[in-house]
């Protein structure tokens, strides 16, 4: 079974084609600058055990045009990997927000698309693009099953005592204001990899997804998310590339009432001008790392603040879980920045968390799970590369298998 995984942005479209018999990526790529001049597609495909690449410089007025080009590449003589686009059995779509209703992976129907549209106010930057991608993919691959995998779905097991805010009940009942959490696909994937690696089916773990967006998740021995750091939107929790993370709401009132900053400008400051960028001058941890090595004080402060925020959540989630067996670092910063892991783990020996500094440095850029804790650590410290696309493919594959199992005869 071949499954195409789609991650649609407002002006980009990432894709990977999986052969589900062995989980290998047959082809992958990204279409960029959709809807503007100077568009291009970077396409890679497997040929005799190695990836070949091709760049196509072409303007794509919309996502429909992008899919036409991508489907053409997939079946082309020089860069193709399948005979006909109908060879694709299913298309798995990343959808950021599924609200309270969609707690599992879903075959896409008109009702599902309507629900995704109705949730746009909760994810205005993501759900519109996800929906555009779904509509365009359905036209490009009309005979494939289309399946939605929701980032929020993994967190549906978070109990009410954790997802409710202490505001009047009507705002939850009428307006659905509550914590939803995000990055669920990544948290689910790396937790599953840790269970396999440690051979512990009752693993209690704290997963730490550190990219330009960042979040943490407490996962109990049943594999259920019971707490997560992002909330109603993706601004809460950890310090991120450009987002502030947790902030006293009084600061927002002060900026609006006393400093006379328009609300839209405050939103822009907290979402696009804060985090690593606001503290250290760049939203790229590699830039902050270089400045740190040069002795830059702001870079040092950035790492200290970044790590301190993570440590606060490690402590809180250890309490929520009544002890953790493992903490897991993943995503761009989590997998590749030893300094970030160092500052996140230092001074946690009272919780049984002790880092091996040499293993931490050598643990960068792993292709498989690696352990970076010292021999005296009671808690495993793992670095596990995330693979959200594979997780989407696996969930779509399970939906397809369930359909076959339930079919008559």
Q: Report the Cα–Cα distance between both ends of the chain, in Å, rounded.
A: 20
| CATH architecture assigned to 2-150 | 2-Layer Sandwich (3.30)
Domains 2-150 and 201-388 share a fold: yes
> Could you tell me if 224 and 159 are in contact, meaning their C-beta atoms sit under 8 angstroms apart?
no
Structure tokens at 64: 């429909």
Closest CA to 289 of 338, 349, 218: 338
Which residue ranges are tagged as binding site for substrate? Answer: 94
DSSP three-state, residue 242: coil
How many Å apart are CA 240 and CA 230, to the nearest integer? 11
> Cα separation of 257 and 262, whole Å?
9
Q: What is the pLDDT of residue 408?
A: 54
In the annotated binding site for ATP, the residues are 14, 209-213, 284-286, 332-336
pLDDT (0 to 100) of residue 407? 55
What is the pLDDT, as a whole number, of residue 80? 87
Query: Would you kindly state where each structural domain of the chain is located, as residue ranges?
Result: 2-150, 201-388
Supply the CATH classification number for the domain 201-388. Answer: 3.30.420.40
The model's pTM: 0.91
Looking at the DSSP assignment, which residues form a beta bridge with residue 43?
A: 29, 54
Helices 184-198 and 388-406 sit at what angle, rounded to 10 degrees?
90
pLDDT at 17: 96
Looking at residue 126, its pLDDT comes to: 85
pLDDT value at position 12? 86
Residue among 151, 325, 337, 356 flagged as catalytic: 151
- In this structure, the number of other CB atoms found within 10 A of the CB of residue 14 comes to 17
Catalytic-residue membership of 337: no
The residue whose two tokens read 């407002």 is 10
Output the pLDDT for position 406: 61
Query: What is the mean pLDDT, run by run of 10 residues, along the chain of 409 residues?
Result: 90 92 92 91 91 93 92 90 92 93 92 93 86 92 95 96 98 95 95 98 98 96 98 95 96 98 96 96 95 97 98 98 98 96 98 98 96 98 95 94 63
pLDDT value at residue 22: 86
Residues belonging to the binding site are 7, 14, 94, 209-213, 284-286, 332-336, 388
């Amino acid at each position: 079974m071949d499954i195409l995984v789609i991650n649609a942005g407002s002006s980009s479209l990432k894709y990977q084609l999986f052969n589900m018999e062995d989980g290998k990526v047959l082809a992958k790529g990204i279409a960029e600058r959709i809807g503007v001049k100077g568009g291009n597609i970077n396409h890679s495909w497997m040929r005799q055990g190695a990836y070949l690449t091709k760049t196509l410089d072409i303007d794509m007025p919309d996502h429909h045009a992008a899919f036409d080009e991508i489907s053409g590449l997939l079946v082309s003589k020089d860069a193709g990997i399948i005979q006909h686009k109908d060879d694709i059995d299913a298309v798995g779509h990343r959808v950021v927000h599924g609200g309270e209703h969609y707690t599992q992976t879903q075959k896409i129907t008109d009702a599902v698309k309507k629900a995704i549209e109705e949730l746009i106010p909760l994810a205005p930057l993501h759900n519109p693009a996800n929906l555009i991608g779904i509509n365009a993919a359905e036209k490009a691959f009309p005979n494939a099953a289309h399946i939605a995998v929701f980032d929020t779905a993994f967190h549906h097991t978070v109990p009410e005592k954790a997802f409710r805010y202490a505001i009047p009940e009507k705002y939850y009942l009428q307006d659905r204001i509550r914590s939803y959490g995000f990055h669920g696909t990544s948290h689910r994937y790396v937790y599953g990899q840790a269970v396999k690696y440690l051979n512990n089916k009752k693993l209690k773990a704290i997963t730490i997804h550190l990219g330009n967006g960042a979040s943490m998740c407490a996962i109990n021995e049943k594999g259920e998310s019971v707490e997560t750091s992002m909330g109603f939107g993706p601004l809460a929790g950890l310090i991120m590339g450009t987002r502030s993370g947790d902030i006293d709401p009084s600061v927002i009132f002060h900026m609006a009432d006393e400093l006379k900053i328009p609300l839209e400008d405050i939103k822009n400051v907290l979402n696009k001008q804060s985090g690593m960028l606001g503290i250290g001058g760049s939203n790229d941890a590699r830039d902050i790392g270089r400045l740190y090595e040069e002795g830059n004080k702001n870079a040092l402060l950035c790492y200290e603040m970044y790590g301190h925020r993570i440590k606060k959540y490690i402590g809180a989630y250890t309490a929520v879980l009544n002890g953790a067996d493992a903490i897991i670092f993943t995503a761009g910063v989590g997998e590749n920045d030893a300094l970030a892991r160092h500052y996140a783990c230092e001074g946690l020996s009272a919780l049984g968390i002790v880092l091996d500094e040499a293993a931490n440095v050598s643990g960068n850029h792993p292709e498989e799970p690696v352990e970076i804790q010292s021999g005296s650590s009671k808690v495993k410290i793992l670095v596990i590369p995330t693979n959200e696309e594979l997780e989407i493919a696996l969930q779509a594959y399970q939906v397809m298998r369930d359909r076959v199992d339930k079919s008559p005869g």
